Amino acid sequence: MGLALHIVPFFIFLNVVQRNSAEQVVLLDTTGESTLEWTRFPYGPQANTPGWVEESFTNFQRGINWRSYVVCDVAYNNVNNWLWTPFVERGIANRIYIEIKFTIRDCSLFPGNALSCKETFSLLYYEFDAATREPPPWETESYKLIARIAAGEGRFNANSEVNINTEIKSIAVAKKGVYFAFRDQGACISLLAIKVYYITCPEVTINFAKFPATPTGKEITVLEQANGTCMNNSEVVHSPPTYQCKGDGKWTIPSGGCKCKAGFQPDFDKQICNVCPPSTFKAETGDGLCESCPEHSKAPGSGYSECKCNNGYYRTAKDPKSMACTQPPSAPQNLTINFVDQSTVILSWSAPQDLGGRTDIFYRVKCDACTFGVVQYTPGSETFNDTKVTVTGLNAVTTYRFQIFAENGVSHLSAKGSPEYSDIVVTTEASVASSIPNVRITSVKSTEISLAWDPPSIDDIENGLVESYEIHYFMRNDADHSNATTVRTTELSTVLTGLQQRTEYGIHVRAKTQQGWGDYSPVIFKTTGQVLNTAYVGDEEGLKLRVIAGGIVVVVVILVAVIVLAVIFIRSRGNDECNKKQPSDCDTLEYRNGEVHHLDNPPIVTTHTNVTTPLFAPISGASRTYIDPHTYEDPNQAVEQPAGGRRARPNEFHIRRGVAKFD
């Protein structure tokens, strides 16, 4: 009983240490054995020395009562004593440690009697894949030396207290198990306690993942990765949990982890996930805590990921779970007729008084007697959020009932069926015959179109004078005129600005009298100009320009005719004056501006042979006399007159602009 009281405190201390540091998984411990009976050599009658002997080592003051092995064959030569542990299975160990508590006596205690006294022993091991009945071979070559061990704390002699040495060695293992061997070669040794174990990083929970006890790697510097398992009611979010086990049995570098599932909240201190209590919820996996149910919802039990909406309240799939449950809106308010004529009605209204707790309000229009495909709604007949609608294409003098429905994101979930609405009855006006004649394009630019029209005839406006005109224009590809633009004016023309370049537009016009709007004129189409802004000229301006251009051409033709006649007249006068003079006055001539001038020094001209020749020089070296045709009353006589002993040939030379030049 006294022995137990001494031992218990020691083990309590070890448990506390293990909880806060690396853990040891013990494979062999002689301190807990009542007998050992290990294999020894030499042993038995054939042994030459006593060898290893099993005995008890007791020290009650220190709580020690262990079975141990001692050897002290210092008085013999060639001592070779072996002691083997039983086969130690490694289990999941990658590296095995052996702890030896021993004493060694000083050789000085055996003066004259020690023939081969030593103060060391050898520790060896032998890996094997199976335990055998017979010990492994004891030849030195079959074993691997771990270390030669000497006393570290000191030796003891008869006059000193016993010093217990502790030596820890480790080896990497890969086979099923291992034998350890102690070899004595002449020392006096007591092996008090032998413990074989491996080190693990202890079981731990971190990031809501549980990691099992993990053995260290084969080498001290190697990290062993452990994969964690998510705790109850938690799950992996981004990456699986992992943890690294160091060679000293301590964890390092956690990665990944788990999070508490929807309906469960984390307890970070205890690393557990607790269920959400009633009237609370947690919508998604994560570190968030349970929240109280939002308005108009409830959670009657535990572990709710979403609170259920109360009767008459709803939540869409896209609504966040923390959002209060909502209802469809009430009916639109203040439904009003803003405009009505023979084919058009414009209605407006105010938002519902009760929006149902939502902001995604939209409206829908329903007309009882409207013709499908003919009547057009702007901005549309369904799902628009404007509080105004324009209905066109109606029949004149016809009564229509319009219903304006107000809806939101949960209207389709409502058990009521049809949403709330407001309705109104409208009767269109009588058709007024006042069509617009002669609508025409007067000019086109890159972003502008100018047009004009004639007023309706007197017969068409007998119900009242024209108050204004409405121009309705749209792009050709806008089939339903949803993006059409309307311009009003009291004039008979207008300019449409801000148009797109090189785009075809449709345009028509109607007039308004006291009795209402008349019919639209037929649509005319016109394409705007290019980016260079080159203007297109309309029909009226084109006619005016053609008249102006024709007048300019006539004036130019008249001026040219006057100039030609003046030149002819001046030349004819010059010829008459020369005829009145003596022939000698016209011997050397220059025609300049219709007048003939004498040339005192005839100029040098270039002939077609590129030879510089004096004017009127003789042809082919022969001297030739110039005969002035003006000295003859009949120029034909001059041609007949011989020149230089021969008759002049026609076209032998000519006078042009006062310069004579040979052909």
- Report the alpha-carbon distance of residue 306 to residue 289 in Å, rounded: 13
Average confidence (pLDDT) over 193-206: 95
Q: What is the DSSP string of 449-515?
A: EEEE-PPPPTTTTTTS---EEEEEEEETT-TT-TT-EEEEESSSEEEE-SPPTT-EEEEEEEEEETT
For 654, which DSSP code? E
* pLDDT-derived band at 203, boundaries 50, 70, 90: very high
- Report the alpha-carbon distance of residue 387 to residue 283 in Å, rounded: 37
Indicate the CATH number of 23-201 among 2.60.120.260, 1.10.10.10, 3.40.50.2300, 3.90.1150.10. Answer: 2.60.120.260
Cα–Cα nearest to 96, from 176, 11, 212, 183: 176
Average confidence (pLDDT) over 44-71: 85
Average confidence (pLDDT) over 99-115: 81
Which CATH superfamily, name and number, covers 204-260?
A: ephrin a2 ectodomain (2.60.40.1770)
Average confidence (pLDDT) over 318-347: 92
Average confidence (pLDDT) over 63-67: 84
Average confidence (pLDDT) over 173-190: 91
* pLDDT-derived band at 633, boundaries 50, 70, 90: low
Please give the pLDDT value at position 626.
47
Please give the pLDDT value at position 473.
92
H helical segments located in 316-358: none
* pLDDT-derived band at 532, boundaries 50, 70, 90: very low
Please give the pLDDT value at position 519.
79
* pLDDT-derived band at 20, boundaries 50, 70, 90: very low
Please give the pLDDT value at position 545.
56
CATH fold of 332-429 reads: Immunoglobulin-like (2.60.40)
Which CATH superfamily, name and number, covers 432-528?
A: Immunoglobulins (2.60.40.10)
Cα–Cα nearest to 377, from 392, 396, 394: 392
Q: What percent of the chain has a predicted confidence (pLDDT) above 70? A: 75
Please give the pLDDT value at position 531.
52
Please give the pLDDT value at position 607.
36
Residue with more model confidence, 663 or 262? 262
- Report the alpha-carbon distance of residue 79 to residue 115 in Å, rounded: 10
Please give the pLDDT value at position 151.
82
* pLDDT-derived band at 564, boundaries 50, 70, 90: confident
Query: Of the ranges 265-279, 334-348, 522-536, which one carries the lowest mean pLDDT score?
Result: 522-536
Radius of gyration in angstroms for the set of CA atoms belonging to the chain, rounded to a whole number: 63
- Does residue 563 register a pLDDT over 60? yes
- Report the alpha-carbon distance of residue 37 to residue 72 in Å, rounded: 18
Please give the pLDDT value at position 464.
61
Peptide bond into 42 cis (omega under 30): yes
Q: What tens digit of pLDDT does each residue of 481-523 get?
A: 767 888 999 999 999 999 999 999 999 998 887 767 777 888 8
Please give the pLDDT value at position 460.
57
Do 23-201 and 332-429 share a fold?
no
Q: Which of 322-326, 579-583, 612-616 has the highest mean pLDDT?
A: 322-326
- Report the alpha-carbon distance of residue 287 to residue 260 in Å, rounded: 7
Residue with more model confidence, 33 or 545? 33
Tokens 């990497």 found at: 172
- Report the alpha-carbon distance of residue 304 to residue 107 in Å, rounded: 80
Q: Which of 244-248, 382-386, 464-468 has the highest mean pLDDT?
A: 244-248
- Report the alpha-carbon distance of residue 39 to residue 54 in Å, rounded: 11
- Does residue 591 register a pLDDT over 80? no
Please give the pLDDT value at position 214.
93
CA dihedral defined by 650, 651, 656, 659, rounded to 10 degrees?
A: -90
Give every CB contact of residue 210 below 8 A, 6+ residues apart in sequence.
203, 204, 228, 229, 230, 231
Q: What is the DSSP string of 543-557?
A: HHHHHHHHHHHHHHH
- Does residue 62 register a pLDDT over 80? no
Give every CB contact of residue 10 below 8 A, 6+ residues apart in sequence.
63
Please give the pLDDT value at position 250.
93
- Report the alpha-carbon distance of residue 91 to residue 175 in Å, rounded: 10
Average confidence (pLDDT) over 142-165: 77
Average confidence (pLDDT) over 144-163: 75
CA dihedral defined by 349, 355, 360, 362, rounded to 10 degrees?
A: -30
Average confidence (pLDDT) over 150-177: 80
Please state the pTM of the whole predicted model. Answer: 0.53
Residue with more model confidence, 168 or 581? 168
Map out the domains of the chain as residue ranges: 23-201, 204-260, 332-429, 432-528
- Does residue 641 register a pLDDT over 80? no
Give 465: exposed, middle or buried? Use CB within 10 Å, 0-12, 13-18, 19+: exposed
Tokens 């803003």 found at: 338
- Alpha carbon distances (Å) from 342 to 391, 401, 428: 11, 15, 5
Please give the pLDDT value at position 580.
53
Q: What tens digit of pLDDT does each residue of 440-458 get?
A: 999 999 999 999 999 887 6
- Output the average pLDDT for the chain: 80
322: left (phi over 0), alpha (psi -120 to 50) or beta: alpha
- Report the alpha-carbon distance of residue 589 to residue 574 in Å, rounded: 12
